[in-house]
Amino acid sequence: MPRRPRLMLANTPVHIIQRGNNRQTCFFHETDYRFYLEWLGEYAESSQCAIHAYVLMTNHVHLLVTPKTKTSAAELMKRLGQRYVQYVNRIYKRSGTLWEGRFKSCLTREESYVLSCYRYIEMNPVRAGMVKDPGDYPWSSFRENGLGGISNLLSSHQVYEALGSSDDVRRKAYRELFRHQIEPGMMYKIRSSTNGNFVLGSEKFQQEIENALGPEFWSILGTRNLFMLVI
């Protein structure tokens, strides 16, 4: 059975998850995280992708990315994934696959959903019980987005920029978003949309994506999946 193409659109943010095969560990040492982030920055630039948020967990990765073209995100993940697997296999004397097949993704654009993706990604270590505060986890973008750490990797999305008129005001407003856990309903929307390659947003946003893609929209999703899109 042929694989269903992904929903991708130029200049539209996409939440990406890539998991280790059978949930196996992907990062074994501090150096592994550092190399992955270095290569993420390198290939994001060459593939024309803006990275807004990320978290590297022991056995999976979350990214919030805006690709400049429809193929930019796929190119980024292919090149990054291949290089990292080659590195892991060489360093740890292993062979075979590391990742669980294709990465999963969903398109989003509306303000509340984009900010929820930021939070969903950077709160991952807290939900996993690894840290009590997202700023305590070294392998996520929260230290840059929320605390003012310096990064050459991140590009702020416009909804993040709209949080305040200065860096300090924006970061304070951003930290306020993390005082509470994401609502269960929004958690479900993000998870189901990403795992199913659906649109994360309102009916209006879905219609915009359908109009932009034309017949390709339903050739990718099929009418049987309509009820899963508007969540």
Q: What is the DSSP string of 46-59?
A: HHTEEEEEEEE-SS
Q: For residue range 145-171, list pLDDT tens digits in order.
A: 999 988 889 999 999 999 999 999 999
In a domain, 226, yes or no: no
Residue 225 lies in a domain: no
Q: Do 15 and 62 contact (CB within 8 A), yes or no?
A: yes
Contact 197, 4 (CB under 8 A): yes
Would you state the pLDDT for residue 54? 98
Summarised one tens digit per residue, pLDDT across range 85-119 is 999 999 999 998 999 988 999 999 889 999 999 99
- pTM for the model stands at 0.91
**What pLDDT, on a 0 to 100 scale, did the predictor assign at position 187?**
95
Whether 112 is covered by a domain: the verdict is: yes
| Burial profile 57-91: b = 16 or more Cβ within 10 angstroms, e = fewer | bbebbbbbbbbeebebbbbbbebbbeebbebbeee
pLDDT band for 220, please (50, 70, 90 cuts): low
> Looking at the 3D structure of the chain, how many domains does it have?
1
Residue 3 located in a structural domain: no
CATH of the domain at 38: 3.30.70.1290
Least confident of 179-183, 198-202, 222-226: 222-226
**Residue 99: inside a domain:** yes
Predicted pLDDT of residue 122:
98
pLDDT band at 222 (very low <50, low <70, confident <90, very high): low
Rg (CA), the chain: 17
pLDDT bracket for residue 226 (50, 70, 90): very low
